[in-house]
Amino acid sequence: QVQLVESGGGLVQAGGSLRLSCAASGIIASNYVMGWFRQAPGKEREFVAAITRTGNVGSVTGRFTISRDNAKNTVYMQMNSLKPEDTAVYYCAARQTYSTSYREYDYWGQGTQVTVSS
């Protein structure tokens, strides 16, 4: 079975950093587009970053950087200069081709909470 397990969330002060991890099993992460999305209470799930099979990346802010460790079958997102508006549940997801739409992703993790205090 396919499993995506996020970790690394927590409480951090504004201006601080976190690194989120997404450990994949049941799929080879390098054979998929791997994406990060976030959802705040009362708001729609939104795209944050993604990485393609060949290592091309996209993100909505230069403060966040997505990467992949093929040996560990794990995707990461380094988040720097965090702001209170970054507070959300962050989800890891996978699909075959690049997309910024959460509706088009096939596999999802359980999410990890990121809270940025002021």
Band the pLDDT of 10: cuts 50, 70, 90: very high
Angle CA 81–63–70, to nearest 5: 120
Cα distances from 30 to residues 36, 44, 48, 50, 68, in angstroms, run 15, 28, 19, 12, 8
Over residues 40-87, the pLDDT tens digits come to 999 999 999 999 999 999 999 999 999 999 999 999 999 999 999 999
**30, 31, 32, 35 alpha-carbon torsion, rounded to 10°:** 0
